[in-house]
Chain A
């Protein structure tokens, strides 16, 4: 598993501080991050991929600094967004998955082979030539996940990946995330998504207020929002 390390991380949007002195080392296979809206959890998740860089302190993934070595970090860390529509770039399903590999240096047959096996794995093979924007919400999120995983990252960060989905599709995405061999960090409000996770971090007003096993941490979270 990769080691993700936050060291005295501070971050503000304008005058509003969102992360205040966060120290955290994440090395488990399944990690959940929960917190109220505006608590800073999405910012924390985005830092793992280098989409947001800290104002103060450092964030590293396997020793690579996200501020100075963002490109190398992004090769290791895949990111799944809340709204898959914002993640789809190409018109058809197979083209969108292949798009991730455009600069991978793989030959066209190798890209085609990897895309086909990824689509098969995510149950999208029958939709390979279909327009991506006409998929259902659940299928779009599966496509977003497939487009990330085709690059074979060692860490997958998902920011509220089930928020826009119905219960059945949310369960499907949850099962898919649980079945990954990669290290998975999930930011969510849907606590059932964290069943079987190794660790849950609770964040409130930019500070870590609980960091424990899911049962203990979610108990603390429920008390916090009660």
Chain B
């Protein structure tokens, strides 16, 4: 979601975020309980068709699949030792299909749509939970990932420039201090943008 959204106007892009979120949950639940290899193969094929329908560039699909392949390269053989190859491949297929579906949601849904969906979901509970605040919290959490990554990168560079390469303290202290400063500045900017209530 951190800049992963691929702009588009396909049916997958245009579908309401809340509906997509619901379908994602239901489909993953169904994939989890599939017992027959042909059923799982059909599900994986269906996921592939959805990616094609959303016109996601193959390199973006690859970027999302690679990290899972590393995990599966370890998990599937281990599972095969205990439960046999069929069960292990079924487990691998379930994980891959579920992760691919979640990636498809991320690639075709803007953060603002997700925030709106959260607010809609929380509307029945508005007496107890402020949907706006939860949405803002989610947005800020997502925003803080690249912000913190940038701080870490700068601190590592500064540390190298000063010859302090091995010290964890030399990394942690400035990262924490700068993260707190950034959080304060971000809070001030939110107030300045009228989001102070």
Interface residues of B (CB under 8 A from A): 1-3, 5, 7, 110-112, 132, 139-140, 142-143, 146-147, 150, 182, 185-186, 188-197
Contact = CB atoms under 8 A, between A and B. Distances in A.
A83 interface: yes
Contact of B150 (A75, A85, A92, A132): A85
A90 B189 CA distance: 13
A95 B186 CA distance: 16
A129 interface: yes
A100 interface: yes
Given A51-B188, A87-B192, A90-B139, 10 more contacts: A78-B192, A81-B189, A83-B185, A89-B190, A92-B3, A95-B111, A133-B147, A133-B150, A134-B3, A148-B193
Interface of A: 49, 51, 70-71, 74-75, 78-79, 81, 83, 85-92, 95, 98-100, 102-103, 129-134, 147-148, 151
Nearest to A80: B192
Contacts of A103: 132, 194-195
Contacts of A131: 2-3, 146
**Chain A interface mostly:** mixed
Contacts, number: 89
Contacts of B186: 86-87, 89
A51 B195 CA distance: 12
20 contacts: A51-B188, A51-B192, A71-B194, A79-B189, A79-B192, A86-B186, A87-B189, A89-B140, A89-B143, A89-B189, A89-B190, A90-B111, A90-B143, A91-B1, A91-B142, A92-B110, A100-B194, A102-B132, A103-B195, A133-B2
Nearest to B182: A86
